[in-house]
Chains A and B, each alone.
Chain A
Amino acid sequence: MHVTQGTFSFLPDLTDRQISDQIEYCLHQEWAVGVEFTDDIHPRNTYWEMWGMPMFDLRDAAGVMAEVRACRDANPNVYVRVTAFDSTRGWETMRLSFLVQRPTNEPGFRLDRLEAEGRTIRYSVHAYAMDQPAGRRYQPDQANAAQGDRR
């Protein structure tokens, strides 16, 4: 199942050139660009791991791209996203976030139903990958395949 989270997620995955152009746009808007990664892809999980601090005062996308590549190399088979934070007063929030890496195999989600008081049903979304402990949620042998795809 192709996870659709963040901007551009209904498009085919962006190439590095396209990622670089999007970052270039963010920097032009004077947003602080950061790189984050996670293996817990639940839609309500907003707390991804930060790959270093958000980068302020950058002028060119090359610096961010170096971090994106470093993050992919260190975490080859998880989700990686680029975020852009707008510090303008009144906004002070994330203006843009998009995936720049996904695992080769995305097993998807199942819907859990919980019967509560009366005939109430409570629903929850559960990612199949979450059945594995952290660090083993996406198979390492697929990591190599993912790297092969990108090159």
Chain B
Amino acid sequence: MSVPGPAASFETASSEVVDLKALQADTDIGAPIAELDRDLVGLAPVKQRIREIAAFLLVARAREQVGLAAGPPTLHMAFTGNPGTGKTTVALRMAGILHRLGYVRKGHLVSVTRDDLVGQYIGHTAPKTKEVLKRAMGGVLFIDEAYYLHRPENEKDYGQEAIEILLQVMENQREDLVVILAGYRDRMASFFLSNPGFRSRIAHHIDFPDYDASELLAIAELLAAQSEYLLSPAAREAMIDYITRRQQQPSFSNARSIRNALDRARLRQAMRLCAGNAVATREALQTIEAEDIRASRVFAT
């Protein structure tokens, strides 16, 4: 009896073809990404990475079909960036995206901070952290401001215990949950420096860039449209002006500053309408005028 040589087995392997396009249509991968493109302004590197992950999961599935090794990929992520760059927003969507890509089974997001993981006394931390991890299984665990877990000034801090349990589950139960850490860039960097285990267990370090002025304007218009407001052409000009001035100021926090500015503009619009005529048209009710924006403190200087 002759044993088939390597040439023969290579031939059969090359004849097995997987239609990636059909697989893509099957899994409906395009839809969540298109949604992300539509709803989130800018963030090119973030979207690029999500596209890469989607493609990778697709290829992993194709490899499985032809019988190639397809170990579960590590999808733990760290989101770093300045305040208001959309870290939390993207994390919220990530759970849905990974679910639709078929990577997590349930697709819910459990959002926690230090308080939810770290206990008050000896022996309290481990059950508390495990409880949170069990709740997050089948979905995404989002740890906001993860660097608070580590308190270098207090070596008896229970945060270290929570970190160890987290690392263990992140390593051993990769197929059961995805952990996303988020926080400001510099503080996350020092957090990873003091916890090298974390750095190496996280495959995707995604940096959220600051928005530029045109992106911020697009965000303002998107936010206004979402709550059914309109910026009048003059108000649009005022907003551009506002953004350039606000960017120069300290404590500028990107989209969050814009959202706050819009909220205040809505208050001023309400005041203006109440002080003015007794009747208001539908148009007046939804339009924000330049004066609503120019009344801001930012223009005082």
Interface: B138 (CB within 8 A):
yes
B229 → A minimal CB distance (Å)? 36
Pick from A41-49, A55-63, A92-100 the stretch touching chain B.
Answer: A55-63
Interface: B108 (CB within 8 A):
yes
Cα A6 to Cα B108 with chains together (Å)? 32
Pick from B11-19, B22-30, B48-56, B129-137 the stretch touching chain A.
Answer: B129-137
Q: Chain B 241-253, CB within 8 Å of chain A: the 1/0 string?
A: 0000000000000
Cα A95 to Cα B5 with chains together (Å)? 58
A20 → B minimal CB distance (Å)? 11
B140 → A minimal CB distance (Å)? 11
Interface: B105 (CB within 8 A):
yes
Interface size class on chain A is 10 to 19
B138 to chain A: which residues have CB within 8 Å?
A: 59-62
Write the chain A residue with the least CB distance to B134: A63
* Interface contact A62-B135, CB-CB below 8 Å: no
Cα A58 to Cα B176 with chains together (Å)? 13
A66 → B minimal CB distance (Å)? 7
B30 → A minimal CB distance (Å)? 27
Interface: B86 (CB within 8 A):
no
Write the chain A residue with the least CB distance to B107: A59
Interface: B84 (CB within 8 A):
no
Cα A133 to Cα B133 with chains together (Å)? 37
Interface: B173 (CB within 8 A):
yes
B143 → A minimal CB distance (Å)? 17
Write the chain A residue with the least CB distance to B175: A62
A116 → B minimal CB distance (Å)? 49
Cα A140 to Cα B139 with chains together (Å)? 39
A66 to chain B: which residues have CB within 8 Å?
A: 134, 173
Cα A62 to Cα B137 with chains together (Å)? 6
A58 to chain B: which residues have CB within 8 Å?
A: 134-135, 137
* Interface contact A60-B139, CB-CB below 8 Å: yes
A59 interface neighbour in B108, B127, B133, Cβ under 8 Å = B108
Q: Which 6 A-B pairs have the closest CB atoms?
A: A60-B138, A63-B134, A62-B137, A62-B176, A60-B137, A63-B137
A-side residues, CB < 8 A to B, are 52, 55, 57-64, 66-67
B-side residues, CB < 8 A to A, are 105-106, 108, 127, 133-135, 137-139, 173, 176-177
Known: A62-B137, A62-B138. 9 other contacts (CB 8 A): A59-B106, A60-B105, A60-B137, A60-B138, A60-B176, A62-B134, A62-B176, A63-B134, A66-B173
19 A-B residue pairs with Cβ-Cβ distance under 8 Å, sorted by A, are A58-B134, A59-B108, A59-B135, A59-B137, A59-B138, A60-B105, A60-B137, A60-B138, A60-B139, A60-B176, A61-B137, A62-B134, A62-B173, A62-B177, A63-B133, A63-B134, A66-B134, A66-B173, A67-B134
